[in-house]
Amino acid sequence: MKFARLAIKVLILTSIVFIANHNLFAVPKSESITIDHLMKLKKIKDVQVSPDGKWVAYKVSRNDEKKDKGFSQIWMSSVDGKEQIPLTASYANASNPRWNPDGSSIAFIGKRGADKKAKSQVWILNRNGGEAQQYTKVKQGVSEFEWAPDGKSMLLVLQDPKPEKKNKNNGKASDDEDKPEPIVIDRLQFKQDYIGYLDRRREHIYLFDGINIPTQITSGDFDDGSAVWSPDGSKIAFVSKREGDPDGNDNSDIWIVNADPKAKKHPLIQVTKNKGRDSNPSWSPNGTMIAYTTTRKPKMLWYENSKIAITKAGTGGQERIINSDYDQTSYQVRFGHKGKNIYFIPDDNGNNHLSKINIISGEISQVTQGELVVENYDISGQGVIAAILSSHYNAVEVYRVKGNKLNRISNINDKALEKVKLAKVKRLTVAGWNNEPVESFVYYPLEYKKGRALPTVFLIHGGPTAQHDTAFNDWAQLFAAQGYLVVLPNPHGSTGYGEAFSYALNAQWGVPDFEDIDKIADHLVKQGLSDADKLAVSGWSYGGILTNYVITKSTRFAAAISGASELNHRANYGHDHYQHYWEVELGLPWENTKAWEAINAFNDIGKVTTPTLVMGGQMDWNVPIQNSEQLYQALKRLGIDTQLIVYPNEGHGFKRPSFKRDRIERWLDWFSRYLKEHKKDMS
């Protein structure tokens, strides 16, 4: 068991273990990393292996600072890495590459033309080149699509169209046709980040042959998605919440619908009947079974490890969890090409390895090895595997996975980092809350000399359930290049260290994880690594939430940065998009006030002495700017040095390159002001 192994680490709580590179990648060279390097780094998503196993397609996203926009392209690499070809234009956004089953073309979702109001459609591009041809012309745009196994049609996931506006001018054109109308809301879940207020237009599955009007095959006041064809093309498995009010529970199930476009009716078969979350369906190669991820304890919410289950396709009620004793969360499941193994990615002690489990014996083995993070992967019908991955010292790229070897087949980020010398990263384990071992990744400045106490920056991850890992972390590298010791902690609540470690945070946000942070700081100061007068704490999302809690409980930090955070939890009920999760974890705020107030950092705001930079997106409905405004107002009223930075029209994550640059510049300036120039005894 993973948690049992952690207990052994208590014997070596003060030890620091070097991260091995395992000679998988080449290490960059000579100059320090800067913001310019960060802005040039590209992201890679959604790897797709061609049916013949000879090519790999993927999406590449980049910042264009001159146009102040982000753009995404579809690229293609040969599996030997000798050829790398951009398939779509650099200034026409494209995503979701999908190979036609015959391998002759690639379909993708994108927009073309100058019309800013144009919706995303499916386009098809010949693999040998040429102009992309528009395949769909759906008024409301396309959310998802998948080729049918015979390549002659597609399934589409479409949102219900908006009702036609009533003509108030007797057929005459009006200057007020685009005039805003009142937003009428009657749903329990009524808002969502990046979308805004929610109406009752749901997403459903359609069949489309490229010629006729798409045929709708699911309906109702439910959203349907994650749709996948059966191998013979006769059925489609999908995920939907259809029990009670879908806004009031987290009970998603796997369903099957008949995919015959000529059928007059399309009855549904409910495959899973578990009260938790069933998602990520994958058909076995012979079409007799479906694998999926499942959670069985709805009251545990995001703290529960998702398991891998299989069931007979089309019968339902014969579900079997095949990794019930595996104490890590599992996701991205899919059958191998022979149907004997199911591949998946777990959060595992700071790594994310491509792994597989035998469906009969339940034996789990790692496919990839070493200190790295696999973000996404795909398997061809012949068993060719491609993966997107990175490590501490290597930015994200595409690799072919063959046996236990990794062969890089892209060089998307080589130029951005070709001369950059990176900070060394070590693992650190200390005794935290309840004397339980807590791990961190520590980044050392390039010119670090033993025995020198350094200004130290804590970067707390979001979540609350997530993990800092061995992936390339450009922010941590940047701060280390500025001379800081950078600490990326995985306090209680983090995934990758067992379900009990994560669940310890339930209904007590800030309690165990603050103690973890405090004891990590104690250790670093005692060991002479950190300057006790030059400590900073910071984070985004839950990282900002914990930052707020830390500065209300401790005066040891010389600076803090709170990004997209909460401070007054009860004020967020009905204002953010987490109403269901709040109710399950803490109860209704007017009934269980004691639980809500027990972790409400706003109640202790008067104890803060730490200069705190506060920032967030104006249109963030994940963690709304409201609490950041309240934090700023309170700090300003108390006379604490503070600033509030609001980024117009941005959600929880930023899209505009100039704002991305501005945000990181302000982090560096704030740290510099208080960790390099400021002393605690200054009046």
- Going by C-alpha positions, the residue among 328, 345, 367 that lies closest to residue 496 is 328
**Helix/strand/coil (H/E/C) assignment for every residue in 211-231:** CCCCEECCCCCCCEEEEEECC
237 SS3 class: strand
Q: Is the pLDDT score of 325 beyond 70?
A: yes
Find the helix or strand (DSSP H, E) in which 584 lies. helix 579-586
> CA 33, CA 392: separation in Å to the nearest integer?
14
Local confidence band at 245 (pLDDT 50, 70, 90 cut-offs): very high
Residue 580 lies in a domain: yes
Find the helix or strand (DSSP H, E) in which 586 lies. helix 579-586
Pairing of strands 121-126, 612-617: unpaired
Give the residue-averaged pLDDT of 220-237.
97
Residue 248 lies in a domain: no
> CA 445, CA 478: separation in Å to the nearest integer?
10
pLDDT of residue 127: 84
Q: Is the pLDDT score of 303 beyond 70?
A: yes
Residue 605 lies in a domain: yes
Residue 210 lies in a domain: no
Task: Dump the DSSP string for 598-644.
Answer: HT-GGGGGGG--S-EEEEEETT-SSS-HHHHHHHHHHHHHHT--EEE
Q: Is the pLDDT score of 22 beyond 80?
A: no
Residue 207 lies in a domain: no
CATH code of residue 596: 3.40.50.1820
In the 8-state DSSP scheme, what is residue 488? E
> CA 79, CA 44: separation in Å to the nearest integer?
16
> Are 72 and 64 in contact, with CB atoms under 8 Å apart?
no
In the 8-state DSSP scheme, what is residue 553? H
Local confidence band at 166 (pLDDT 50, 70, 90 cut-offs): low
> Are 376 and 45 in contact, with CB atoms under 8 Å apart?
yes
Helix residue ranges, H only, 449-495: 474-481
pLDDT of residue 373: 98
Give the residue-averaged pLDDT of 62-74.
97
How many CB atoms neighbour CB 368 within 10 A?
Answer: 23
How many CB atoms neighbour CB 67 within 10 A?
Answer: 10
Local confidence band at 169 (pLDDT 50, 70, 90 cut-offs): low
Give the residue-averaged pLDDT of 440-457.
94
Q: Identify the bridge partners of residue 268 per DSSP, sorted by sequence position.
A: 257
431 SS3 class: strand
Percent of the chain with pLDDT over 90: 84
Give the count of domains, the chain.
1
User: What are the DSSP E strand ranges found in 212-304?
Assistant: 215-216, 224-229, 235-240, 253-258, 268-270, 278-283, 289-294
* Average model confidence (pLDDT) across the chain: 91
Going from the C-alpha of 228 to that of each of 126, 170, 280, 322, the distances in angstroms are: 23, 46, 9, 22
> CA 172, CA 194: separation in Å to the nearest integer?
34
How many CB atoms neighbour CB 244 within 10 A?
Answer: 9
pLDDT of residue 586: 96
Going from the C-alpha of 478 to that of each of 215, 484, 566, 597, the distances in angstroms are: 51, 9, 26, 37
pLDDT of residue 167: 57
pLDDT of residue 251: 95
pLDDT of residue 224: 97
**Structural domain harbouring 559:** 424-676
User: What are the DSSP E strand ranges found in 133-189?
Assistant: 133-134, 144-147, 154-159
pLDDT tens, residue by residue, 86-102 = 999 988 899 999 999 99
Going from the C-alpha of 76 to that of each of 61, 127, 398, the distances in angstroms are: 14, 9, 10
Local confidence band at 176 (pLDDT 50, 70, 90 cut-offs): low
> Are 373 and 380 in contact, with CB atoms under 8 Å apart?
no
Give the residue-averaged pLDDT of 378-404.
96
Residue 110 lies in a domain: no
User: Cβ-count burial of 69 within 10 angstroms (0-12 exposed, 13-18 middle, 19+ buried)?
Assistant: middle
Give the residue-averaged pLDDT of 627-642.
98
How many CB atoms neighbour CB 45 within 10 A?
Answer: 16
In the structure encoding, which two tokens stand for residue 617, read together?
């997106």
> CA 408, CA 389: separation in Å to the nearest integer?
10
Find the helix or strand (DSSP H, E) in which 402 lies. strand 394-402
Q: What is the largest CA-CA distance in the chain?
A: 83
pLDDT of residue 130: 82
> CA 533, CA 675: separation in Å to the nearest integer?
8
> CA 593, CA 599: separation in Å to the nearest integer?
11
The residue to which tokens 């796997």 are assigned: 254
pLDDT of residue 129: 76
Q: Is the pLDDT score of 279 beyond 60?
A: yes
> In whole angstroms, how large is the CA radius of gyration of the chain?
26
Measured on CA atoms in the order 292, 297, 300, 303, is the torsion positive or negative? negative
pLDDT tens, residue by residue, 517-552 = 999 999 999 999 999 999 999 999 999 999 999 999
Residue 663 lies in a domain: yes
CB proximity list for 115: less than 8 A, separation 6 or greater: none
pTM to 2 decimals?
A: 0.92
Cα 557–chain centre separation? 29
The full length of the chain comes to 683
pLDDT of residue 393: 97
Give the residue-averaged pLDDT of 422-436.
98
How many CB atoms neighbour CB 626 within 10 A?
Answer: 17
Residue 681 lies in a domain: no
> CA 595, CA 615: separation in Å to the nearest integer?
27
pLDDT of residue 682: 34
Give the residue-averaged pLDDT of 12-32.
45
> Are 623 and 36 in contact, with CB atoms under 8 Å apart?
no
Give the residue-averaged pLDDT of 284-292.
96
Which of 78-82, 313-317, 408-412 shows the lowest mean pLDDT across its residues?
313-317
